[in-house]
Structure 1
Amino acid sequence: MEQYPDIEVYVARVSHDTLNAWLASALSAPPLTPAGKGKWKTRGMYQGEEVPILLVDNVADGFASLWFDSSHTPWMTDQECAQHAAEALQTEIRCSLGGWHPGNDDPDRFWQVLPGGKEGAIEWPDSGR
């Protein structure tokens, strides 16, 4: 499997303290710092490579976007990151189904991962709203 060029997951409500502790553990990242309205950033390290990290609060339905702008992460895919984050943060995590390819993906299909290992495909945002 090829490493994704970057990783993005969507994190259900979790405190910055909890998120900072996970980022420190996973990527030796210092605490998130403000980067504009509703945005937070930091830089982690993985295998000697810098990993820029951006958190954007409330992007959809109470979820924040957590973006690792690097192919140098402990996770090969968004789904792998989501699985790790759901357990570490004890909250729901969502990610896109597969990599992004123009014209090839359904933009409303996501992978939902819950603490405890339950996971599966969902429509998001919910088309019933």
Structure 2
Amino acid sequence: MQDLEIYIRDLEPGAVSGWLENHVDQLELNDRDVASVIKGFARYEGDRVRISLYPGAFGKRFTSLVIEGPRVPWNSDLDCARSAWRAMETEIRCSPGDWKEGEPVEDEKWWRLDHRGEQQVVWN
């Protein structure tokens, strides 16, 4: 199972489905109201992919997007974040890829993609 996770700042209703419909098939994601947890599905290369949105991640302004399946449309969180940034034009953050569940994240550097470009930053 592969998974991707990115964090979207000030997510607009419909933005995720509008972006993903160009990358997956049979998208079933109702993101017209992004104030609560949203679960959906799609197909990618014939396999079922789970899509989850979790608002309020790292404070109230970010929504966590998790995409899970046997195959996913991007090779890394950063590739996914780049695609999301191009489509949504709002700040996107993701892990640099070396963090493992259970490890501390206090000094963790994250990729931040926004109008200033791509930078590694401490979250706060």
TM-score by length of structure 1 reads 0.79
Of the structure 1 ranges 48-57 and 63-72, higher mean CA displacement relative to structure 2 is found in 63-72
**71 and 95 in structure 1: CA distance in 2 versus 1, 3 angstrom threshold:** farther
Check conservation: 2:17, 2:31, Cα contact below 8 A: no
- Deviation track 1:44-86 (CA, whole Å, cap 9, x = no partner) reads 1111111100000111231000000224111000000000100
Percent identity, aligned pairs only, is 28
Unaligned runs of 5+ in 1: none
Check conservation: 1:41, 1:52, Cα contact below 8 A: yes
CA distance in 1, matches of 2:77, 2:100: 14
**Which of 8, 11, 14 pairs up with 1:11?**
8
Task: Please state which structure has a larger fraction of its residues in strand.
Answer: 2
In structure 2, the residue matched to 1:55 is: 53
Check conservation: 2:11, 2:63, Cα contact below 8 A: no
> Number of matched residues?
118
> Which amino acid is the alignment partner of residue 51 of structure 1?
V
> Which amino acid is the alignment partner of residue 94 of structure 1?
R
Equivalent residues in 2 for 1:70-89, closer than 5 Å: 70-89=69-88
Of the structure 1 ranges 77-86 and 8-17, higher mean CA displacement relative to structure 2 is found in 8-17
Check conservation: 1:38, 1:56, Cα contact below 8 A: yes
Task: Please state which structure has a larger fraction of its residues in helix.
Answer: 1
Unaligned runs of 5+ in 2: none
Q: Say whether residues 1:114 and 2:114 are aligned partners.
A: yes
